[in-house]
Structure formats: structure tokens, C-alpha cells
Structure 1
Amino acid sequence: MIKLLKKYGVELKLKKCDLFRLIEGQKDTFLEDGFAFKMTNEEEMFKYEVILNGIYNKTKIEGEYKRFVYETQDAIQYLNYEEKQKMFNSIISETLKNLKLMKADQQIILIPYLEPFVNERYLNNYMLLTLKQHQLYVKDYQRNIEIPYQLYGLKVLRSAFSSLKGIAEDENYEYYYYDGLKKIYIFDKKEYGLVDSFPIIDKYFQGNTSLDDIREIMTYYKQPQQFINQLHELNYLSDKVHKKIMKKLK
């Protein structure tokens, strides 16, 4: 079934995808934070997106602290450590409401390529991060696009850090949909890598897809003929393409 959808479905061009172009335009952002940058496929695009959202959060909090120090420099020189932290927490609380995040074992994660205890400090105890040894720890922590999955698994793809939308899972795989390319992506639960992907529309499709419909379609994933019929009923596949695929499936 997947081979047939790849053959008769439409593969939208990756380099014309809005997300691809957004990430390509942020090359310097990755390099400045210590990441190498080379994006050649969809899997890398989704993994760089997670990193980019983490960098945005990290940069935002660091910027808020610099502003806090500048605007309160006359007052904070008379405050102790705890008082400074409490004051900064009250200022940054509104900023945190607007940042993308996820939870891992009850810990809020703002920067998915850093460990939970470092995230906790960015969230609640930023004063510690102003100490030289802590700054060096964060700066020298390894940087590569696989780190979020080694730390948190595929949870990062189910979070606000990713444009992928979870649509199903089974014993071995998690399934995601990305509307920008109108494709379903299959990720391995143990290795966290992309196993396969396939389009769900053909070149005749016009209009919008529905995430609820796609989740419903996925209930027929183990029943290829039903799966294809559902795509056809929603006009994701035209009569012509539907007929060709069904003929091959019989």
C-alpha cells in the first residue's frame, strides 16, 4: 500500500515547504548556538525545527534576564540571591506563558536539547546559570539534532516544539502527519528515527485536509483496501488514482 501511494500520490517539493525555508533562513541561529547545520531531508527538517524552538526559548529567557539586570541595576545591588531570583521570576512569568514547552516526568521542558535539571534552572532558578561554571556547562554541552530524542524520546514530536501531529501508534511505531507536505511519517519507537513516509493525496487534490479525518483513516491502516477507500471517499485520491491502486491491491 505504501509503495502504491508513493507511486501514484503526489510528492510536494521539500525545498518549497514553508518550514524548510524557515529553518534554512535560520542557519546562523543554529551556528551561533553551537549546532552544525546541514539539512537535506524531511527527517532533518523536523529535528531542526525542535532545536530551533528550543533556541528561541533559551534566547528569550537570556534576553529577559539581561533586560532585568539593566532596568533594575540600581535596586538589585541591595538584594540577596533569593530576593533577586524572586524578583526575576515575577517578571518572567508572563513571558513563559507565551513560549512553546512540554512536560517530561512533571518537569517543564523549555529547551529540549538540554537536560531536565538545566531546564529547571532556566525556569525557576536562573541565578544559578549566571555563575561561570554553570554558563560553561550549558555552553559546552554537546550539540546535535539527536539529543532531544536521547533525552526525551519521541515525546518532543508530540509537543508544541514540532509541526508534526500525532495520529496513531502501535507496538513498534508512532505515526505523524505534516500538512505542509500532505504526508504521513512513521517513526520507530526505540530508535527514534524516521522509518518511512508516504503521501495521502494525488495531483488532482484541491482543498484542505482534516486532522480528525486522517486519524480516523489511520484506524484502517492494517486494512489496505479500506485505507485507500477512505482516502478516496474524502477526495484525497481521485477516481482515477483510486482505481489504479485498488487494482494493484487485489
Structure 2
Amino acid sequence: MEILIAQQRSELAKHQERLEAAQAAAAKFILDYDGRQPPGADGAEVKYLVGLDAIRDHLTVLNDQVAEELLTFAPGGPQKRENMQASRPLNQQLLRRGVQMRTVYLNSIRNDRPTMDHARWLTEQGCEVRTVPSLPNRMIIYDRKLAMIASNADDTAAGAVQVSSPGMVTALHSLFESMWQSAEQLEAPVHPAPGELTCQQAEALRLLALGHTDEAIAKRLAVSPRTARRITSSLMTHLGARSRFQAGVLAIQQGFLPSPTE
């Protein structure tokens, strides 16, 4: 058992190292590419926006220009009531123009009545809404031609990056479609069969196996640290694990997580 645990620890460490290397390479690529263009240059395929006011002003321009499709990742869990109310006229305007809208929220909105009421209102207007346990970042894709991404996933008001390179937009669109296909419809039941995990529990278990703290898991799932601790504690009890790492090993052995070799 000690040998197996050591092997699993090594594989998980390698997986985390590969993931961090890929993220660093992507960030470096964007920074290097942006450095080839002077700030604000016309035709630049990567453009930075700093501050919430600059982001809002730029989004207003893009919303006026979008013609066919608007795809959105909306992390952060339950939304602020004033923001939802303020967005309704714009959403109605876009849908009346025939813009197809699809939005992915986090599963945690299902525990917040105002956000669920707003999501149902969106579906009544013609927008498609689904939910997932976690999202990588805030993102909006316009007509599959350009994308807006938060420059800091932990502080989405700090700044944003606009990407218009066809290759990069295609990759981001593929990411959206992959998340959309795995997402749950808004009115879909989220209660698992006996012995199975909810999507939120499965994502928490994946993050737990990768070594994330309860605080980091809470941030990814957009739940309170107390809720995250309750989820991880129930998972360890469910698996019969005495440590967080053992929970990852047992999750692989019991089929809740894929083997690192798969």
C-alpha cells in the first residue's frame, strides 16, 4: 500500500506540474504576443484593458457590434442582485436582435433563489443556461471572432484581455463547447443515484486529489469555506479515507476519478 500511495503521489505531482507548465506557457504566449503590438494599436490581436470602468466601456461597444452569437462563462456563483437587474435590458435587446445566447453558471447558483430566478428569466427570454461545478475563468466569446477573458481569475474587475487571433479564439470556443456539453441543464435534477457523487462533489474530489486546500476548493466552487470543508469531510467519510491524499488514492481505486495513466 505504501508503494502504491507513493506511486500515486508521484503521478499526481507530475500531473499538477504539467498543468502549471501549460498555464504558464499560455500566459507567457499572450504576454509575448501582446508585446509585439503597441498598446491600443489598431489590429492588435491581443489587447489589455485595466480596471472595471475600461472593461464596462469596452463591453458596451462589443455588445453593440455582436450580430449572431454570445457565449459566456459566468463564474463567481450567486450573482449580485443589482448586476442582474442592470443586465436585463441589454439581454432583452440582444435576444430581440436575434443574437443566440448561451451562458454557463456554477452549480452553486442552485442554492441562491435570486440568481436562479434570473437564470429562469433568461431562459424565458430565449437564452440557454446550464451549470457546471467549476469554471476556469470569466469569458465572453463574440460571434466566434473575438473573446474577452479576465486577466485575473481571482479578481475579474482588475482587468481583461481581448483576444482576436483566429487560432486562439477557436481554442477558446472549443473549451466553451466542451464545458457546455458536460454541463447540466438548468432544470435538470442534481441528486445522484445511491452511492454516486454529485457533479459538485466529483469536482471537489478532483481538486482534493490535486492537493487544493479547502479555501481554494471553496473559491473554485464559489461556496463558503465552511461549505467546502463540509463537502471534503463528507467525501473522506464516503471513501473511508483518513487523509486527503488517501482520499485521492481511494477515489481512483473506487472509480470516482480516472487513473493517471488513462
Question: Which is higher, the Rg of structure 1 or of structure 2?
Answer: 1
TM-score by length of 2: 0.29
